[in-house]
Structure 1
Amino acid sequence: MAEFFNGFGASITRPTPIDQEVVWDKSQTIMSSTDRFGNITNVNQAFVDVSEYDAVELIGKPHNIIRHPDMPKIVFKVLWDNILAGRNFHAIIKNLTKTGKYYWVITDFVTQRNILGEVIGIEAKRRSVEQRVIDEHIAPLYQTLLKLEKLGGMELSSRYFKGFLDKQKKNYPDYVMDILQDNKEALLVSADENIALSDQEISDDIFAELEESAKRKNFFARLFASANLF
């Protein structure tokens, strides 16, 4: 086990991951709130149950207490770049429980702003993801990104990620929506670290939800329709 520190100086023991999914009620919506720095300010009972932490252990702690080492760093960079720009975001994430188990979720991140338009907090709602989506799409992609990060850091994984999405002819949010809907065209390109990296400059916009398409808005609204605030 390893220790890291939260913003208040208290040490937190990070569990050693084990290859076992936690048992949880996948009909539930897992919810949490954080400040703009990622420190947890509120959680619902579903979050407590699946994470295996008590609520008192979570409040005030950095949200990365549940970050799983199988997650590529580039995914969180993209996530935070969008959130700090004031954009809502959706991502498929593997999380870590207190005992080292894991769980996969699709997360809807919604930013909270003050009257000046500055981001002051984030609300996150999470639903379960079908195993098919993980096995056929997300796990191979994230494993490739992790391998590339070990070889050349986030610069290399970012280049690959952009090229992967560019060949899919969609941005990351639309890619996520398609694989969740079992769109047979969602995986036009297999995730493979041996694919030659393009020298073409691809904009960071491919990671962003710059415009809210009606199709995407309706899809995620239906997905999280049953979620109530804490």
Structure 2
Amino acid sequence: MTLQKNHNLSHEIVLDDVKCILSTTDLKGTIKYTNPYFSEVSGYSKKELLGSPHNIIRHPDMPKVMFKLMWDRIKDDNNVSMIVKNRAKDGKYYWVTTFFEKKYHPVTKESDGYLAILHAAPKNAIRAIEPLYKRLRNIEAKYGIHASQDYLIKYLMKEGKTYDQYVAELTQQKNLVSEFFKTINKLTS
């Protein structure tokens, strides 16, 4: 299956169900590597992406608290999966389930950046997460990111789930991506 433009969904780019977008960044989020599918989907050339901040694809519909959560988690050596709405160079958007992982230098064992693996988000996950993201954005606009974070924490408590459980349930991942990379890391360590 190839990349398709779906004109019925108001400028949404529909991603291939099999292909993944891959990227690596340094510790500050500057892009060091992208696979060809990243350019195909985003509309940015590899030259435009390399050396740019990863937030070049950030969509304004994404609540800031979600990126705070992501950075807090990966800086503490915890991987994180998120449902993210990204923006292409031409202003179109695409939804992904993103897995972020901290990477370590093979010799020095010091952290040298991050890996992001993005694949098409399930439609049911998008439908479920959009109202929450809208609510978080509205709270951020009125009261700031800390109020948004408090709301997210209370929302998850009400759902009786951790953030990881919530995302895994929405995407039906059951941490398969995370488990795959844990296995790979064990084999290469």
Q: What TM-score results when the alignment is normalised by the length of structure 2?
A: 0.84
Q: Describe the SS at the equivalent of 1:108.
A: strand
Other-structure match for 1:31: 22
What CA distance in whole angstroms lies between the structure 1 residues aligned with 2:101 and 2:93? 24
What CA distance in whole angstroms lies between the structure 1 residues aligned with 2:82 and 2:99? 7
Picking from 112, 137, 154, the partner of 1:120 is 112
Q: Describe the SS at the equivalent of 1:37.
A: coil
Q: Describe the SS at the equivalent of 2:144.
A: helix
Matched-pair contact (CA < 8 Å) for 2:16–2:120: no
Other-structure match for 2:36: 45
For residue 27 of structure 1, report the CA deviation from its aligned partner. 2.1
Count residues with an aligned counterpart.
173
Identity over the aligned pairs, expressed in percent?
A: 39
**Gap regions ≥5 residues in structure 2:** 1-9, 181-189
Matched-pair contact (CA < 8 Å) for 2:26–2:114: yes
If each structure's helix is expressed as a fraction of its own residues, which one has the higher value? 2
Picking from 81, 84, 93, the partner of 2:75 is 84
Q: CA RMSD in A?
A: 2.3
Other-structure match for 1:145: 136
- Mapping of 1:146-225 within 5 angstroms? 146-181=137-172, 216-218=174-176, 220-221=178-179
Is 1:110 the counterpart of 2:97? The answer is no
> Structure 1 101/170 Cα, relative in aligned 2: closer, same or farther at 3 Å?
same
Matched-pair contact (CA < 8 Å) for 1:24–1:49: no
For residue 41 of structure 1, report the CA deviation from its aligned partner. 0.3
The one-letter amino acid paired with 2:156 is L
What CA distance in whole angstroms lies between the structure 2 residues aligned with 1:40 and 1:90? 19
For residue 221 of structure 1, report the CA deviation from its aligned partner. 4.1
The one-letter amino acid paired with 1:112 is K
Other-structure match for 1:99: 90
What CA distance in whole angstroms lies between the structure 2 residues aligned with 1:27 and 1:101? 21
The one-letter amino acid paired with 1:121 is G
Picking from 45, 54, 60, the partner of 1:63 is 54
For residue 26 of structure 1, report the CA deviation from its aligned partner. 3.2
What CA distance in whole angstroms lies between the structure 2 residues aligned with 1:219 and 1:176? 12
Larger radius of gyration: 1
Q: Describe the SS at the equivalent of 2:12.
A: coil
For residue 180 of structure 1, report the CA deviation from its aligned partner. 1.6
